[in-house]
Structure 1
Amino acid sequence: MKKTTVLLVVLLLSVSGLLIAQGKQEAPAASQAKVLRVAMECGYAPYNWTQTTNANGAVPIANSKDFAYGYDVMMAKLIAERLGYALEIVKLDWDSLVPAVQSGTVDCVIAGQSITSERKQMVDFTSPYYYASIVCLTNGDSKYASATGITDLAGGSATSQLGTIWYDTCLPQIPNAKILPAQESAPAMLVALNSKRVDFICTDMPTAKAAIIAYPSMKILDFAGSKDDFQVSEEEINIGISVSKKNPELTKAINSLLDTLTVDDFNSMMESAISVQPLSN
């Protein structure tokens, strides 16, 4: 009997030791889950913006009490979920986005970036996750409100966001345009227009649609389909996700997901983002 008791005690201790050991081995697994660090401005509605709650599925911004949401966050959440990552949103200013990818501070940028040749020299891009047409915005009472082409904007004062094709490529195509210094952000260029410091600004259609919700007196000037439209290449209106050239595996994985989505899917997600942006409520 004593031998049996001793054997049982030994057996129980062995099992307990095994379970404890397994617990110690499994505990780090949760903390070591893969994290996808995604950078964006968190201030470029409807692509991305900052809000104070997690309403509509907003994601916490790293090292902040605020949350991020918008089309880019919706896309980031989808990518992270499908690829098995935990998602971390990193808020950076526009000029810091590409350097952050290059340095490895973040894994990718999802921030409404055009896939330009200049950027492709520094980072890799996925296939497009949105296709954005170029438009102008003006105030409804402006003499340019009836413009039907860029020629009708001749001589007007204008600005746009720093480091974008809107400012670098499109505005110079307007005859004799008085191009003022570029603005640091999309909200800043909208303020410049609303305060009538400029006659019009150049942007893309999603940004313009979001803007007229916040500023109902503004008017979208869409010259698409006319012979007097901005001349831009496909790469300049294709919006992509930038990834480090040292991480082709991530680019490939994201492309595999994007291949399952259609233009209608992109447009539907964008309309959803526009409908819940803070200033549309």
Structure 2
Amino acid sequence: MKISRRLCTLLTLLGLVASPVWAKDWSSVRIGSEGAYPPFNFFNASGELVGFDIEIGQALCAKMAADCTFVAQDWDGMIPALLSGKYDVILASMSITEERKQQVAFTDPYYKAALTFAGPADSSLTDFSPAALEGLAIGALSASTQAEFLQANYPESDVRLYRSQDEVNLDLASGRLDLQVSDLLPMLDWVTNSDDGKCCKLVGEPIMDAKYAGEGTGMAIRQEDQELRQKLNDALAAIIADGTYQAINAKYFPINIYEMK
């Protein structure tokens, strides 16, 4: 039996006939980043969101021929804001972990990750076992893999969590922390290239445990947006192949962070 167009429209409005689901063309993409994680994402003196993550995002959008808008978001609300539709992609140096994959889907990694301890420049610490760090004040960014690492492995330390990496750095520089745990690359940049970072140095060996360092650093999307994931993966492969990635890498780091060597 045929259904008239008018009746079909009425039934659709009443929810009795499924309406078609139109695929997004992704000609316009909103990208969420933090703006407080130099050199990956931060605000410059003009109030512009800049950094490695931002330039990678711009290069990806150029490859996808997409009109991209960057949206600043505090770290601890990053995934909830993605899921609520505030933006379509998280490009904010987010480690790929099994826990996060329960909520979001990730692209291929766009750089390798490792964690590190950092302490005062005159630190003589060589033992980083839980027993050796018992009672010490150790800081980390809240809702991060660094925080998970400390909470799981250093229950007898005074673990302090912060809303932003800048706050962790400030308390370490001012002597309110004995140590902090951070992602290796931004911490290396802070102690090497910033005036306030001269207070401090990296200590101990890099922490490469995949449980905390993750499978690398990826872009997060909503799990249903698999077409966007493929477009981002294709664009990432293209900027690596044509040298665009390496040119951006060289502006920020003395090593190849895609391969960490």
Report the alpha carbon displacement of residue 267 of structure 1 after superposing the two structures with TM.
Answer: 7.0
From 95, 98, 108, the equivalent of 1:127 is 108
2:37 is matched with 44
- Alpha-carbon deviations, 1:247-270, whole Å to 9, x = none? 1100011111223427x9867634
From 79, 91, 97, the equivalent of 1:98 is 79
1:115 is matched with 96
**Number of residue pairs matched by the alignment:** 224
Structure 1: gaps spanning 5 or more residues? 1-32, 54-65, 276-281
Is the 1:115–1:236 contact (alpha carbons within 8 Å) kept by the matching residues of 2?
Answer: yes
Q: Indicate yes or no: 2:138 matched with 1:158.
A: yes
- Alpha-carbon deviations, 1:40-86, whole Å to 9, x = none? 11111111000133xxxxxxxxxxxx211111101100111000012
Report the alpha carbon displacement of residue 143 of structure 1 after superposing the two structures with TM.
Answer: 4.1
Secondary structure at the aligned position of 1:176 is classed as coil
Is the 1:135–1:202 contact (alpha carbons within 8 Å) kept by the matching residues of 2?
Answer: yes
**Residue type of the partner of 2:28?**
V
When residues 174 and 95 of structure 1 are mapped into structure 2, their CA distance, relative to the original with a 3 A threshold, is closer
**Residue type of the partner of 1:70?**
G
1:56 is matched with none
- Alpha-carbon deviations, 1:204-229, whole Å to 9, x = none? 111111211221121112414xxxx5
**Residue type of the partner of 2:113?**
A
When residues 190 and 270 of structure 1 are mapped into structure 2, their CA distance, relative to the original with a 3 A threshold, is farther
In structure 2, distance between residues paired with 1:124 and 1:230: 22
When residues 159 and 101 of structure 1 are mapped into structure 2, their CA distance, relative to the original with a 3 A threshold, is same
When residues 94 and 118 of structure 1 are mapped into structure 2, their CA distance, relative to the original with a 3 A threshold, is same
1:220 is matched with 202
**Residue type of the partner of 1:114?**
S
1:18 is matched with none
Is the 2:96–2:217 contact (alpha carbons within 8 Å) kept by the matching residues of 1?
Answer: yes
From 117, 141, 157, the equivalent of 2:122 is 141
Give the % identical residues: 21
Report the alpha carbon displacement of residue 152 of structure 1 after superposing the two structures with TM.
Answer: 8.2
Indicate the structure (1 or 2) with the bigger Cα radius of gyration: 1
Please tell me the root mean square deviation across aligned C-alpha atoms, in Å. Answer: 2.7
Structure richer in helix, relative to its length: 1
Secondary structure at the aligned position of 2:36 is classed as coil
In structure 1, distance between residues paired with 2:117 and 2:244: 25
1:241 is matched with 219
Structure 2: gaps spanning 5 or more residues? 1-25, 255-261
When residues 41 and 169 of structure 1 are mapped into structure 2, their CA distance, relative to the original with a 3 A threshold, is same
In structure 2, distance between residues paired with 1:112 and 1:102: 18
From 179, 189, 198, the equivalent of 2:168 is 189
In structure 2, distance between residues paired with 1:98 and 1:234: 18
Report the alpha carbon displacement of residue 232 of structure 1 after superposing the two structures with TM.
Answer: 3.6
When residues 267 and 221 of structure 1 are mapped into structure 2, their CA distance, relative to the original with a 3 A threshold, is farther
